[in-house]
Structure 1
Amino acid sequence: MKKLLTLTAVATAAFTAPSMAAEEVNVYSYRQPFLVEPMFKAFTEETGIKVNVMFSDKGLAEKIKQEGEYSPADVVLTTDISRLVELADKEVVQSVNSDTINGNIPSQYRDDEGEWFALTLRSRNVYSSRDRVGKLGNDFDYTDLAKPEYKGKICTRSGKHPYNVSLVASMISHYGEAETQTWLEGVKANLARKPQGNDRAQVKAIKEGLCDVSLGNSYYLGKMVNDPEQVPWAESVYINFPGQESNGTHVNVSGMAMAKYAPNHENALKLMEFLTAEKAQQMYAEVNYEYPVKEGVKRSELVASWGDFTADALPLEKVAENHSAAVRLLDEVKFDL
């Protein structure tokens, strides 16, 4: 595992043993520090509770399991539904029953047993070249990516990346394994290059003329618009919301769970409730260009400019159930080779 970066919401600090201080809460996070620090700072200002954060890009479920009852973790933040479900499957989280949280988060975006909750939504979009393709119509669907007309025109990051695995898992939920495998074979045949890089790298490839369309999460467009070097990339594409005349656009989530042996249980619950309330949800929208999970919270002006869309209503638990099958199909079609 890569060396873990430790920090707090207000200053750098390490925690190596369970914190029993009344005014602390310990967070293990897959989310990068700069994305969550603003929310933690606001929480501390409002409650006086200090937030200690340990960041890692992998292995947090295993770490908590190894630490057992001596784990200092109170709250775990993740970047994908598969990682939320992994926490539950490894039995390193506990059930939370909060009227506040349940009232803020729609049922399709939380676990029936209260073991995990979504915090933000991010749509899995298709970006298209402004010059060579133009805006895709409302009838465009993910299934279209396998059509012969896109031969040599598609770029994407690794099929095994959690964002793409979740999309494939949702396709299995809607169409079954056999049809999804045929679709994956068609998409692979249409790739302009071997899967590589991140979502922003695919938009850069469109700008450079290497491909015409790509898969990418919505919030990356906001990040590119605010990066002087990447503005030309963003300006070279349209953002499209597939599935508007079928199942809707696939959405993934960032989310949270309470650690099984949370030593600061009360403070952990306060933090979790704060992150689902309007103030933090608005900050997620403005700072990270994500879609708030709490109904009624406004999107950022930039995100709103991309237009409205209908999200896939498939419960995330159904998507998670097909995670292993999605990975297997990606291996069978040798998608990344």
Structure 2
Amino acid sequence: MTRILQLGSNSNFETEGMRSPATTPTADEQLLDAYSQAVISVVENVSPAVVNIDVQRQLRGRRSNNQSFAQEVQGNGSGFIFTGDGYILTNSHVVHGASKIEVALSDGRRFLAEMIGDDPDTDLAVIRIHAPNLVAARLGDSQSLRSGQLAIAIGNPYGFQTTVTTGVVSALGRSFRSRSGRLIDNIIQTDAALNPGNSGGPLVTSHGEVIGVNTAVIMSAQGICFAVPINTAKMIIGPLIKEGKFRRGYIGVGGQNVPLPRRVVLFHELSVESGVLAISIEPNSPAQTAGLREGDVIVGLNNQPIANIDDLHKVLTHEGVGVRSQLTILRRSEKLVLSILPEESKPND
């Protein structure tokens, strides 16, 4: 007859060789405790800045009898406060086209929010609430990220307030197409679990610094989630607050950051040790007209060194639209300078 011992019962059953384990923690247990304490500390510091965002939209359309109709549609997502005076960063797809935006803080307070700026091309938006005693999250440096480092996602999936998931930075330099159709470059891939409602929440390091804005998951896969790097957000935030949108030049290149061999840097006397690898060229774009090819590496624009995609975006401002520019590239072992005419970015570019 098989006997079953129920764990947690008051049984005094004990046999020789079945003594209580040593209370001194092992090295593995100490590591796990340190990991747990790191996550707990991050959550305690960052979660007061994380908000739940409820939105209402007017959905308009026509029925089969050609009669028009309007329907109120509700949705929700996440965001985080990044200034003490109530500015909140979230995803564009969370708040785009909303007729009403309501924000719930982690302490239970609720406030109506106003739309400040929206950039569907990077899936980022800034909204604002007017409230006292707000806690702001610290913004980090996504350029310093390394694959394999700890990543903590905080958000409100399915409306469950302040849900925490952990994982690692799975990969860097990914490209992801936003809902506007434009490629978002240099995306962070993580296996920290994200679900509907996590969109717009922060991806955080073990030091409690925000290094990404959670934006998307691949629903048919497990452990493949994406975040917009915080350095991209830093570049977008100012114009969104000032003008309500981000105006940019457009050359029609999808790229990712790549390191350059040291011998190439020395031979061509480059001031950068990395560049932007062209992985796709849009048809009929300024890049195609200029003769840029897939596999070329961009290292400069108008004598400004280009070490990464953020550098390229910073140089491609509205001031350069329609102005003939010099694009410095590496093609195999050659350094070439192409003449390019940036265009103004359009919503569907």
TM range, smaller chain: under 0.3
TM-score by length of 2: 0.26
TM-score by length of 1: 0.27
Which structure has the larger Rg? Answer: 2
More strand by proportion, 1 or 2?
2
More helix by proportion, 1 or 2?
1
